[in-house]
Copies of this chain bind each other. A is one copy, B any other.
Amino acid sequence: MSHQAAVLGVGTSSFGKQPEVPLAQLAWSAVQEALSDSGVDARGIEAAYVGSVLGPFGSAQRALQGLGIGRIPVITVENACASGTTAFHEACWAVREGRYETVLVLGQEHMSSRITGAIPPDLGDPEGRSGLALPGVYAMAASRYMARYGLTLRQLAQVSVKNHGHALGNSRAQYSGDYTVEEVLASPLIADPLTLLQCCPISDGAAALVVGRAAARRDAVRVRSCALRSGRAWGYRSEHAWGFEIVRETAEAAYAEAGLGASEADLFEVHDSFTIGEILSIEGLGLAAEGEGGRLTESGHTALGGPQPVNPSGGLLSRGHPLGCTGVAQLAEVTWQLRGQAGARQVEGARIGVVETMGGGVAGLDGNACVVAVLERP
């Protein structure tokens, strides 16, 4: 028995550095909003899939117990930055297969209390031990793109200008601002060529979805497809910049399953953990040809008011990037957009929305994981 999965309700906390707010409290606000939005009682939840990267272990059970959600299977998944959308992927499959009728997806992360000192070195990760953290990996991808395609510093910065501007319409965003390209480029250099305003912040936050059967409610947002792939060893001599191939491969799988292409999507929430991330994402997603992402961004095509807005929420750069929460927050944004409830940042007439999350890679991996989901308005 196969069922079409759908999003029945969504909720999020606000996003920001909130060291004084316990993780469970962030989760409660997100889950309570999602339950209320869906009309599903806590007792109607049959299983929970939870995205979390930094833990601590057991925190999902502890948060859900406080809402009277216990005894059911609670499965916390880690898939780097794609943890939240991986939880969604597993939830959709379980609903599709008839294993459960109604499940909860929760993404949660309290980075400010978990990243408090030196992280123990991983013996199996020589790049990480040598100091090659994610800003450096993305910076090298940016340098590669610039050298290969003539991507300019101003085009990179335009991603930040756009997303910080979008976040002005999102009261839950961690940061927002009416910046100029010059201001973005003049902010402190983090990893050449990426400046501070081109890097996502440390964030605390939670987001939740109730996932059920599309037939359950007339106003359910349908899941046309959800694809998950993992990276493989990245060839340093590849013609592509790091991270591009896994996004393209996952997007192709998602579009094939949904039976549509990038041109039919009305909006995108993509993995702009660094400005170059949005460029490689929109190219991997087929929104721009390879090498054209910078020019497409400069043209205004991906800005609110343009034909295909990207990251109307403000994206990871501005809404924030609480690791395990991020994918679920992206899905919440697309759901609001497809229901016409996005307020000042509404994409008019949105019918198809695409979510892409890329789990950052280490040790030469072309990304640990990527999830692409295609959602459709009721």
Is B80 within 8 A of A57, CB to CB? yes
**A53-70 toward B: CB 8 Å interface, digit per residue (1/0)?**
101111101111100001
Tell me the bound Cα distance from A176 to B231 in angstroms: 41
Q: Which of A262-270, A279-287, A361-369 contacts B (4 or more CB under 8 A)?
A: A361-369
Tell me the bound Cα distance from A93 to B93 in angstroms: 10
Is B57 within 8 A of A78, CB to CB? yes
Tell me the bound Cα distance from A249 to B122 in angstroms: 38
Q: Which of A113-121, A178-186, A187-195 contacts B (4 or more CB under 8 A)?
A: A113-121
Partner of A58 from B24, B65, B359 at Cβ < 8 Å: B359
Least Cβ distance of A140 to chain B in Å? 17
Tell me the bound Cα distance from A110 to B231 in angstroms: 23
Is B116 within 8 A of A120, CB to CB? yes
Tell me the bound Cα distance from A97 to B92 in angstroms: 13
Interface residues of A (CB under 8 A from B): 20-25, 52-53, 55-59, 61-65, 70-80, 86, 89-90, 93-94, 97, 99, 110, 113-114, 116-117, 119-125, 228-233, 249, 359-363, 365, 368-369
10 new A-B contacts, CB < 8 A, other than A22-B122, A74-B230, are A22-B123, A56-B120, A58-B368, A62-B125, A62-B365, A65-B231, A70-B232, A70-B233, A75-B228, A117-B117
Could you give 24 example pairs across A and B, Cβ below 8 Å? Answer: A21-B123, A22-B123, A23-B122, A23-B124, A57-B368, A61-B230, A61-B365, A61-B368, A62-B124, A62-B363, A65-B231, A70-B231, A73-B89, A76-B77, A78-B78, A93-B94, A93-B99, A97-B97, A97-B99, A113-B120, A113-B123, A116-B120, A117-B117, A117-B120
Give me the 4 closest cross-chain CB pairs, A-B, nearest first: A70-B232, A22-B124, A24-B124, A22-B123
